[in-house]
Amino acid sequence: MARGPWVAPAPWMRKKPSDEDRAVSHEHDASSVAQADSLDPNSNSGQTKTSADHAARYRTLLDAVPDAVTLHDTRGDIVDANAAAVRTFGYPLHALRGMNVRDLNPNLPEDHMTAVMRTHGVDRTFSVVGVNRRADGTTFPVEVHSNVFLDAGQHRVVAVARDISTRVEAERQLRVSAEHMRKQARIDSLTRLPNRDTMLEATRDALAAAEPGIGPAVLYIDLDRFKILNDMLGHHAGDRLLLATAERLRMCCEGHARCGRYGNDEFIVLLPRCAQDDAARACAQRIIRAFEQPFELEGEAFVLTTSIGIACHPEHGDSAELLIQHADTAMHEAKRRGRHTFRAFDKTLNDHLGMRNQIESQLRLALDHGELWLAFQPKVSLRERRIVGAEALLRWRSPQFGEVSPTDFIPHAENSGEIVRIGAWVVKEACRQLREWRDQGLELDHIAVNVSFRQLLSGTFSDSVQAALQVHDLPGNALELEMTERILIDEAPDTLDTFTALKRMGVRLTIDDFGEGYSSFNYLRHLPIDSVKISHTFMQGIPVQPADTAICEAIVRIAESLGLTVVAEGVETEEQLAFLERIGTDDAQGFFFSRPIEAARLPVFMQEWNRSGRG
């Protein structure tokens, strides 16, 4: 408690006396004259009027103080008090006189007055916070400041007691509010499950309490195709699905595990004391079975399955971050294996993770070192039977890894953001190559380039496209940009301005892998799309698989009604080609025509195509 000299209140601090105050004051005036004389060292019996004047001034000054003031001797006995003390403690003045400070505060230590008296002569105030008791037995918190002075050669103590009930209550409410805010900061606002930070802390605590053979296990849970349902039903319905998911996880974890929300549609389950990974696997199985039951939403039933990754201490990590990272890696492997299953982290995945880190590291240097190059797959017009374009396909020839498959390095480029820089180079290099072919007299209508969602959201993509076209003196329709339909659904509000700018240049926009599961024909009506590419996954089933055949025909009919060009990719057989021609497909590409080839081979291929009579 801070200490300082007691200061008498200024006149503006004085309260207007009530009737009760005036009555108490009269009692003081009548009973304190003799005492006032004794307090004044200059008084004597021959100066009664002067003493009375002094007593009146003393009483007026004392009663003007709004806080309870008591005057004590060295033993703590009260010799006088002001009107505020009478009101505060509920005792009449004559009762207060003669009481001891310990009567007002029974919890004071035995040596309280000794400690107070030590402050005499050192120019400081003795301050203490405690609890005082009223005449009716009730208590209240006080802050008391005491000063020692000499009165007619006797030591006296003046104590000012301030009722701090309001302050104490405000501090209590502040603590309650702070505790509430602290708890809120640890809870996910939607599901009311522990949030990311809380689950990290809980995992750290479980690791700290681990014993040999008994440690935490982490399950990383991702909802399969939640994004599709969220887009299809709306965010309000998506939130209700997340709430239902949280409740289902609570039931699965009741009594032996703790679950929390780690991301948008990602959850963590922590088994703090897991003696063997069989318990973690059993928990994963329980969750998977629980999610096989449909969710009821707006009168319809929806099945929302899960993919789960498992990591156990100590074999899969000795830190919370590493355990969760490895469980996440295992979860993605479960998704790769078909979803609605679980996978435990193991050495194979660990090796894969190490290779992934090496690839990401080397990929940052690949463009600057000239290791990236483009292959081109011809695109054929089925109506004219001529080669109308070529798709530019990114390749990486690494001195360390050799030829790296695009499926191995492109996802890393997207995750790291390096795809923005690489993608700009691909557009520029494709335009340069088309300019070179045209200068050689090659009749090629356009070149197609795949575009990542990160490029579209970079804010500079349309400018880089315009620069590439201008540098190589190409019209906008010489360039076709292909993007997956999921990008359009996920990012439509943010990419619309970019699409508009590209269309003003004349650039063609195509949806790649159309029909792979995210199709929403609604956006075809609102976005400036020129063509769709039927996913190569449907080529394997046509013309013998009824489902694949029906889907391909439906895509062609809808595209025709919307004035869009249809391209089929992955064509490998004469039967597939005949079917595509019969249903009215515009263009096609695939191994049936040509594998991707190096730039220098394309002019030769076109000459051979024309000589063979296929054109």
The pairing of strands 386-398 and 446-450 is parallel
Given 140, 168, 196, the domain boundary residue is: 168
Q: Which residue has the higher pLDDT, 60 or 1?
A: 60
Domain at 103, CATH number? 3.30.450.20
Distance CA 427, CA 424 (A): 5
- Give one word for 587, left, alpha or beta, with left for phi > 0 and alpha for psi -120 to 50: beta
The answer to whether the CB of 126 falls within 8 A of the CB of 1 is: no
Q: What's the pLDDT score for residue 439?
A: 95
Comparing CA positions, the residue from 188, 331, 202 lying closest to residue 257 is 202
Q: Do 406 and 280 have their domain in common?
A: no
Q: What's the pLDDT score for residue 225?
A: 79
Domain at 560, CATH number? 3.20.20.450
Tell me, yes or no, whether 355 lies in a domain: no
- Give one word for 157, left, alpha or beta, with left for phi > 0 and alpha for psi -120 to 50: beta
Given 104, 133, 168, the domain boundary residue is: 168
What is the percent of the chain with per-residue pLDDT over 70, rounded to a whole number?
Answer: 87
List the structure tokens of 141.
């918190």
Q: What's the pLDDT score for residue 394?
A: 96
Distance CA 105, CA 87 (A): 16
Q: What's the pLDDT score for residue 520?
A: 53
CB proximity list for 385: less than 8 A, separation 6 or greater: 614, 615
The DSSP element (H or E) to which 133 belongs, if any, is strand 126-133
Q: Do 218 and 290 have their domain in common?
A: yes
Tell me, yes or no, whether 533 lies in a domain: yes
List the structure tokens of 373.
């190059």
The answer to whether the CB of 519 falls within 8 A of the CB of 489 is: no
Tell me, yes or no, whether 352 lies in a domain: no
The answer to whether the CB of 531 falls within 8 A of the CB of 566 is: yes
Q: Do 47 and 195 have their domain in common?
A: no
Q: What's the pLDDT score for residue 488?
A: 63
Q: State yes or no: pLDDT of 13 exceeds 60.
A: no
Q: Do 415 and 306 have their domain in common?
A: no
The answer to whether the CB of 6 falls within 8 A of the CB of 65 is: no
The answer to whether the CB of 599 falls within 8 A of the CB of 433 is: yes
Q: Do 331 and 473 have their domain in common?
A: no
**For residue 201, what are the domain limits?**
188-345
Q: How many independent structural domains does the chain possess?
A: 3
| Mean predicted confidence (pLDDT) in 465-472 | 96
Q: What's the pLDDT score for residue 103?
A: 92
Q: For residue 602, what pLDDT band results from cuts at 50, 70 and 90?
A: very high
Q: Do 583 and 501 have their domain in common?
A: yes
The pTM assigned to this predicted structure is 0.53
Q: Do 206 and 295 have their domain in common?
A: yes
| Mean predicted confidence (pLDDT) in 554-560 | 90
Distance CA 455, CA 173 (A): 51
Which range is least confidently modeled, 30-44, 56-70, 189-203, 557-571? Answer: 30-44
Q: Hey, CA dihedral for 323, 329, 334, 340, is it positive or negative?
A: positive
Q: Which residue has the higher pLDDT, 86 or 25?
A: 86
Q: What's the pLDDT score for residue 455?
A: 86
Helix 320-336, helix 196-208: angle, nearest 10: 120
Given 345, 376, 406, the domain boundary residue is: 345
Q: Do 15 and 127 have their domain in common?
A: yes
Domain at 199, CATH number? 3.30.70.270
Q: What's the pLDDT score for residue 304?
A: 86
Q: What's the pLDDT score for residue 47?
A: 56
Q: What's the pLDDT score for residue 36?
A: 40
Q: What's the pLDDT score for residue 521?
A: 61
Q: Do 323 and 249 have their domain in common?
A: yes
Tell me, yes or no, whether 43 lies in a domain: yes
Q: Do 281 and 206 have their domain in common?
A: yes
Tell me, yes or no, whether 465 lies in a domain: yes
The answer to whether the CB of 196 falls within 8 A of the CB of 324 is: no
Q: What's the pLDDT score for residue 174?
A: 86
Q: State yes or no: pLDDT of 117 exceeds 80.
A: yes
Q: What's the pLDDT score for residue 21?
A: 46
Tell me, yes or no, whether 134 lies in a domain: yes
Q: Do 443 and 550 have their domain in common?
A: yes
Q: Do 164 and 192 have their domain in common?
A: no
**pLDDT, tens digit (0-9, with 9 covering 90-100), for 497-533:** 888 899 999 999 999 888 765 455 666 777 788 999 9
Name 151's bridge partners: 154
The DSSP element (H or E) to which 142 belongs, if any, is strand 139-151
Tell me, yes or no, whether 176 lies in a domain: no
Tell me, yes or no, whether 361 lies in a domain: no
